Structure 1
Amino acid sequence: MRGAQALYFLRRTTTLAQHLCTLAPLIATPRMEFSSFLEENPSDVVYTHNRKIDELIKSGNLVSAHEVFDGMSVRDVVTYNLLISGNSRNGCSLRAIEIYAEMVSCGLRESASTFPSVLSVCSDELFCREGIQVHCRVISLGFGCNVFVRSALVGLYACLRLVDVALKLFDEMPERNLAVCNLLLKCFCETGESKKLFGVYRRMELEGVAKNGLTYCYLIRGCSNDRLLYVGKQLHSLVVKSGWDISNIFVANALVDYYSACGDLSGSKKSFNAVSEKDVISWNSIVSVCADYGSVLDSLDLFSKMQFWGKRPSIRSFMSFLNFCSRNSDIQSGKQIHCCVLKMGFDVSSHLVQSSLIDMYGKCNDIESSVLVYQSLPCLTLECCNSLMTSLMHCGITKDIIEMFGLMVDEGTGIDEVTLSTVLKALSLSLPESLHSCTLVHCYAIKSGYAADVAVSCSLIDAYSKSGQNEVSRKVFDELDSANIFCLTSIINGYARNGMGRDCVEMLREMDQKNLILDEVTILSVLSGCSHSGLVEEGELIFDSLESKYGISPGRKLYACMVDLLGRAGLVEKAERLLLQAHGNADCIAWSSLLQSCRIHRNERIGRRAAEVLMDLEPENFAVYIQVSKFYFEIGDFEISRQIREIAASRELMREIGYSSVVLKN
Structure 2
Amino acid sequence: MHQFSAVLQSFRHVLKTCIAQRDVRTGKSLHALYIKSFVPASTYISNHFILLYSKCRRLSAARRVFDQTQECNIFSFNALISAYAKESFVEVARELFDKMSQPDPVSYNTLIAAYAQRGDVESAFQLFVEMREALLDMDGFTLSGIITACGDDVALIRQLHALSVVAGFDCYVSVGNALITYYSKNRFLNEAQRIFYGMGEDKDEVSWNSMVVAYMQHREGSKALELYMEMTLRGLVVDMFTLASVLTAFTNVQDLSGGLQFHAKLIKSGYHQNCHVGSGLIDLYSKCGGSMLSCRKVFDEICKPDLVLWNTMISGYSLFEEFSDEALECFRRLQGVGHLPDDCSLVCVISACANMSSPSQGRQVHALTFKLDIPSNRISVNNALIAMYSKCGNLRDARRLFDTMPEHNTVSFNSMIAGYAQHGMGFQSLNLFQRMLEMGFTPTKITFISVLAACAHTGRVQDGKIYFNMMKQKFGIEPEAEHFSCLIDLLGRAGKLSEAERLIETIPFNPGSILWSALLGACRTHGNMELAAKAANHLLQLEPSNAAPYVMLANIYADNGRWEDVGSVRKLMRDRGVKKKPGCSWIEVDRRTHIFVAEDTSHPMIKKIHEYLEEMMRKIKKAGYVPDVRSISIVTDGIRKREEELRLGHHSEKLAVAFGLMCTREGEPILVVKNLRICVDCHNAIKFISAVVKREITVRDTHRFHCFKDGQCSCGDYW
Are 2:361 and 1:437 aligned?
Answer: yes
**Equivalent AA in structure 2 for residue 57 of structure 1:** I
SS at match of 1:397: helix
Q: Give the whole-Å Cα distance in 2 for the aligned partners of 1:257 and 1:180.
A: 17
| Shift in alpha-carbon separation, 1:636–1:452, aligned structure 2, 3 A | same
Q: Give the whole-Å Cα distance in 1 for the aligned partners of 2:379 and 2:144.
A: 29
What is residue 56 of structure 1 aligned with on the other side? 49
SS at match of 2:582: coil
Residues 84 and 100 in structure 1, CA contact (< 8 A), matched pair in contact too: no
1:477-512 deviations in whole A, cap 9, x for unaligned? Answer: 234444222221111011112232112111111222
Question: What is the 5 A alignment of 1:211-610?
Answer: 212-225=172-185, 245-246=200-201, 248-250=202-204, 254=207, 258=211, 261=214, 293-294=224-225, 299=229, 303=232, 314-316=239-241, 318-327=243-252, 334-348=259-273, 350-363=274-287, 364-395=289-320, 396-431=322-357, 434-446=358-370, 447-449=372-374, 452-536=377-461, 538-543=463-468, 545-552=470-477, 554-568=479-493, 571-572=494-495, 574-585=496-507, 589-590=514-515, 592-600=517-525, 603-604=526-527, 607-610=528-531
User: Which protein shows a greater Rg?
Assistant: 1
Q: Give the whole-Å Cα distance in 2 for the aligned partners of 1:615 and 1:633.
A: 15
Residues 213 and 245 in structure 2, CA contact (< 8 A), matched pair in contact too: no
Residue 327 of structure 1 deviates from its aligned partner by 4.7
**Equivalent AA in structure 2 for residue 583 of structure 1:** E
What is residue 103 of structure 2 aligned with on the other side? 113
1:246-299 deviations in whole A, cap 9, x for unaligned? Answer: 4x343x863785598469x9xxxxxxxxxxxxxxxxxxxxxx999764559x93
1:597-649 deviations in whole A, cap 9, x for unaligned? Answer: 4544xx55xx0332232144234445334333332332344444445545x25
Q: Give the whole-Å Cα distance in 1 for the aligned partners of 2:473 and 2:363.
A: 42
1:515-540 deviations in whole A, cap 9, x for unaligned? Answer: 43323321111222333345556445
What is residue 173 of structure 1 aligned with on the other side? 133
What is residue 143 of structure 2 aligned with on the other side? 183
Q: Give the whole-Å Cα distance in 2 for the aligned partners of 1:102 and 1:238.
A: 39
The structure carrying a bigger helix percent of its residues is 1
What is residue 141 of structure 1 aligned with on the other side? none
Residue 583 of structure 1 deviates from its aligned partner by 1.8
- Residues matched between the structures, number: 538
| Shift in alpha-carbon separation, 1:373–1:520, aligned structure 2, 3 A | closer
Q: Give the whole-Å Cα distance in 2 for the aligned partners of 1:171 and 1:302.
A: 38
**Equivalent AA in structure 1 for residue 103 of structure 2:** S
SS at match of 2:286: helix
Are 2:576 and 1:652 aligned?
Answer: yes
**Equivalent AA in structure 1 for residue 583 of structure 2:** Y
Q: Give the whole-Å Cα distance in 1 for the aligned partners of 2:466 and 2:488.
A: 14
Q: Give the whole-Å Cα distance in 2 for the aligned partners of 1:218 and 1:489.
A: 34
TM-score relative to the length of structure 2: 0.62
Residues 80 and 93 in structure 2, CA contact (< 8 A), matched pair in contact too: no
Among residues 71, 76, 79, which one is paired with 2:72 in the alignment? 79
Q: Give the whole-Å Cα distance in 2 for the aligned partners of 1:198 and 1:370.
A: 42
| Shift in alpha-carbon separation, 1:344–1:589, aligned structure 2, 3 A | closer
Q: Give the whole-Å Cα distance in 2 for the aligned partners of 1:564 and 1:123.
A: 55
What is residue 198 of structure 1 aligned with on the other side? 158
| Shift in alpha-carbon separation, 1:80–1:118, aligned structure 2, 3 A | farther
**Equivalent AA in structure 1 for residue 101 of structure 2:** S
Residues 410 and 443 in structure 2, CA contact (< 8 A), matched pair in contact too: yes
Q: Which runs of 5+ in 1 are unaligned?
A: 2-44, 126-154, 240-244, 266-287
Residues 516 and 539 in structure 2, CA contact (< 8 A), matched pair in contact too: no
Q: Give the whole-Å Cα distance in 2 for the aligned partners of 1:322 and 1:209.
A: 34
Q: Which runs of 5+ in 2 are unaligned?
A: 2-37, 587-593, 595-602, 604-658, 664-719
| Shift in alpha-carbon separation, 1:123–1:196, aligned structure 2, 3 A | closer
SS at match of 1:178: coil
